[in-house]
Structure 1
Amino acid sequence: MVSSPTPVADHQHRLSHPYRITSGDGFQLHQIDPGSTDHTQISDKHAAEAALANGVERMAELQDKLYAQDRWALLLVFQAMDAAGKDGTIKHVMSGVNPQGCQVSSFKAPSALDLDHDYLWRANQCLPERGRIGIFNRSYYEETLVVRVHPELLARQTIPEVLVDHDIWQHRFRDIRHYEDYLSRNGVVVRKFFLHVSKQEQKRRFLERLENPEKNWKFSAADIRERAHWDAYMEAYEQMIRHTASEHSPWYVVPADHKWFTRLVVADAVIDALESLHLAYPTVNDQARRALAEAHQQLLNE
Structure 2
Amino acid sequence: MTEPQWNLEPKFDFVDKHRVATNKKCSLAKIDTETNGPFEGKDHGRAFTHQAVIDIRDLQYKMFTEGKQSLLVVLQAPDAAGKDGLIRKVLGQMNPQGCRTYPFKVPSAEEAAHDFLWRVHKCTPAAGKVSIFNRSHYEDVLVVRVEDLVPKSEWQERYEIINGFEKLLAHRGTQILKFYLHISPEEQLERFKKRLDEPTKHWKLNAGDYEARDKWPQYREAYEDVFEKCNASYAPWHVIPADKKWYRDASVAAIVRQTLQEMNPQLPSIDADLDEIRRLYEREAAELAAKKN
2:30 matched to which residue of 1? Answer: 31
Q: Does 1:298 align with 2:284?
A: no
1:20 matched to which residue of 2? Answer: 19
2:153 matched to which residue of 1? Answer: 167
Indicate the larger mover: 112-121 or 28-37.
28-37
Runs of 4+ in 1 over 4 A off after TM superposition: none
Residues 165-207 of structure 1: per-residue CA shift (max 9 Å, x gap): x433331111111111111011011100000101111111111
2:116 matched to which residue of 1? Answer: 119
Q: Does 1:244 align with 2:230?
A: yes
2:7 matched to which residue of 1? Answer: none
CA contact (8 A) 1:56 1:95 kept: no
Question: Counterparts of 1:266 and 1:131 in 2: how far apart (Å)?
Answer: 21
Shift of 1:81: 0.4
CA contact (8 A) 2:63 2:129 kept: yes
Q: Does 1:47 align with 2:29?
A: no
Seen in structure 2, the aligned counterparts of structure 1 residues 278 and 59 have a Cα distance that, compared at 3 Å, is: same
2:272 matched to which residue of 1? Answer: 289
Indicate the larger mover: 16-25 or 255-264.
16-25
CA contact (8 A) 1:105 1:137 kept: yes
The alignment covers a number of residue pairs equal to 274
CA contact (8 A) 1:69 1:282 kept: yes
Q: Does 1:64 align with 2:61?
A: yes
Question: Counterparts of 2:12 and 2:32 in 1: how far apart (Å)?
Answer: 20
Question: Counterparts of 1:205 and 1:59 in 2: how far apart (Å)?
Answer: 29
Q: What are the equivalent positions in structure 2 for 1:112-191 lying under 5 Å apart?
A: 112-151=109-148, 153-154=149-150, 164=151, 166-191=152-177
Shift of 1:17: 2.3
Taking only the aligned residue pairs, the percentage that are identical comes to 37
Q: What's the RMSD between the two structures over aligned residues? A: 1.6
Shift of 1:95: 4.5
CA contact (8 A) 1:24 1:244 kept: no
1:266 matched to which residue of 2? Answer: 252
Shift of 1:214: 3.5
2:89 matched to which residue of 1? Answer: 92
The TM-score, its normalising length taken from structure 2, stands at 0.89
Residues 215-253 of structure 1: per-residue CA shift (max 9 Å, x gap): 323221221122221111111111111110111110010
Shift of 1:259: 0.5
1:279 matched to which residue of 2? Answer: 265
Q: Where in structure 2 are there 5+ consecutive unaligned residues?
A: 1-10, 285-293
2:191 matched to which residue of 1? Answer: 205
Question: Counterparts of 2:119 and 2:47 in 1: how far apart (Å)?
Answer: 38
- AA matched with 2:112: L
Secondary structure in 1 aligned to 2:181? strand
The TM-score, its normalising length taken from structure 1, stands at 0.86
CA contact (8 A) 1:22 1:247 kept: no
Question: Counterparts of 1:252 and 1:181 in 2: how far apart (Å)?
Answer: 18
Secondary structure in 2 aligned to 1:289? coil
Question: Counterparts of 2:142 and 2:82 in 1: how far apart (Å)?
Answer: 18
Q: Does 1:79 align with 2:79?
A: no
- AA matched with 1:263: D
CA contact (8 A) 2:102 2:133 kept: yes
- AA matched with 1:246: A
